[in-house]
């Protein structure tokens, strides 16, 4: 069910939510958090769909805030249009879509404060256009967790390089979340014989893959070994992480994707193993980030200590 509220106010939206609950259209008692999604006009449906899917694991209130005070609608008459989506149009959540025009979008915090679930954590997500320092933005200041995505930035490598400069506990990035499967598999390899130190690491990935840099920084931090990382020729590999090679005295361990969705693990003295390595969906990454609302301390160490040890030129120095 979708309830349209054209040319409205935050107070009217809040009253409409109460009315919806009283009529049995939605139940707020099971909501565990408020997710604020800050996105541009016209780019909302993909992220709403991901949030609806993630809400089946994390029932929540979703507030989608669309405003562009410096865009083509900056001179428009101040106006706030809204939608309330519940039931089949909202997964296991309730979705409030706010479209602010003109000066109505100048104070983002005032638009959402009156719609937050009481006594529940707040998570902010910028799927695309992201403030340089999310924790100091008007929405970031009221959120316990702040989610960005380096893969959607104009210069992903520069974005990753700058994350440590303004890191605040509670920050995270979906490009980091996408390396979870790689981290799990590599950790499992190192938990098996031979228990030898890794003397060097090689990481390869596509030029548009900030996850390659995240993985390299994590390996540098975790293994305390030199890490060489570089981008693969686009003609050879076009998207995501391509391979990781762990160099040890007894021989190299190679985890490599010959094609999207499949990885091959090669270890000394063992037959090669083919592993399912599908690309993680937006819904999967978002759901993972919502499982723990405590600060991701490892992420903080990777983008500060790990990145510094790795060096910013693409090769461990």
What pLDDT does 107 receive? 86
Please state, as a whole number, how many other Cβ atoms lie within 10 Å of the Cβ of residue 184. Answer: 10
**What b/e string do you get for 144-172 counting C-beta neighbours within 10 Å, with b at 16 or more?**
ebbbbbbbbbeebbebbbbbbeebeebbb
What pLDDT does 316 receive? 54
Which secondary-structure segment (H or E) carries 34?
strand 33-38
Cβ–Cβ under 8 Å, residues 55 and 63: no
Identify which of 40, 60, 44 has the alpha carbon closest to the alpha carbon of residue 52.
60
What pLDDT does 251 receive? 96
State how far the Cα of 298 lies from the Cα of 312, in Å rounded to an integer: 19
What pLDDT does 69 receive? 54
Which tens digits make up the pLDDT trace of 234-251? 878 878 999 999 999 999
Low-confidence ranges of the chain (pLDDT < 50): 25, 313-314, 317
**φ, ψ dihedrals at 315, nearest 5°:** -140, 140
Helix (H, G, I), strand (E, B) or coil at 298: helix
Q: What is the largest CA-CA distance in the chain?
A: 71
What pLDDT does 90 receive? 67
């Amino acid at each position: 069910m979708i309830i349209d509220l054209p040319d409205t106010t935050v107070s009217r939206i809040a009253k409409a939510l109460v009315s919806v609950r009283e009529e049995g259209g939605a139940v707020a008692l099971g909501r565990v958090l408020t997710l604020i999604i800050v996105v541009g006009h016209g780019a909302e449906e993909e992220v709403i769909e991901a949030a609806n899917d993630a809400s089946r694991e994390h029932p929540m209130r979703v507030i989608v805030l669309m405003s562009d005070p410096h865009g083509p609608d900056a001179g428009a008459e101040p106006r706030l249009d809204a939608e309330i989506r519940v039931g089949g149009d909202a997964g296991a959540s309730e979705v409030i879509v706010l479209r602010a025009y003109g000066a109505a979008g100048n104070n983002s915090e005032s638009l959402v404060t009156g719609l937050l679930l009481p006594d529940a954590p707040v998570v902010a997500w910028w799927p695309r256009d992201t403030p340089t320092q999310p924790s100091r933005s008007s929405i970031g200041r009221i959120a316990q967790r702040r989610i960005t995505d380096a893969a959607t930035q104009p210069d992903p490598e520069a974005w990753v390089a700058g994350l440590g400069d303004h890191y605040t506990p509670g920050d995270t990035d979906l490009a980091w979340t996408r390396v979870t499967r790689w981290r799990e598999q590599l950790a499992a390899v190192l938990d098996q014989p031979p228990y030898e130190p890794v003397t060097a690491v090689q990481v390869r990935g596509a030029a548009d893959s900030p996850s390659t840099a995240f993985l390299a920084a994590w390996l540098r931090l975790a293994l305390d070994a030199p890490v060489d990382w570089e981008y693969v020729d686009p003609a050879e590999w076009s998207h995501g992480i391509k391979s990781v090679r762990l160099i040890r005295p007894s021989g190299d361990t190679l985890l490599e994707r010959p094609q999207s969705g499949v990885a091959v693990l090669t270890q000394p003295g063992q037959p090669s193993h083919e592993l399912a390595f599908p690309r993680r969906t937006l819904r999967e990454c978002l759901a993972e980030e919502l499982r723990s609302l405590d600060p991701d301390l490892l992420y903080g160490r990777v983008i500060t200590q790990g990145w510094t040890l790795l060096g910013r030129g693409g090769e461990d120095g």
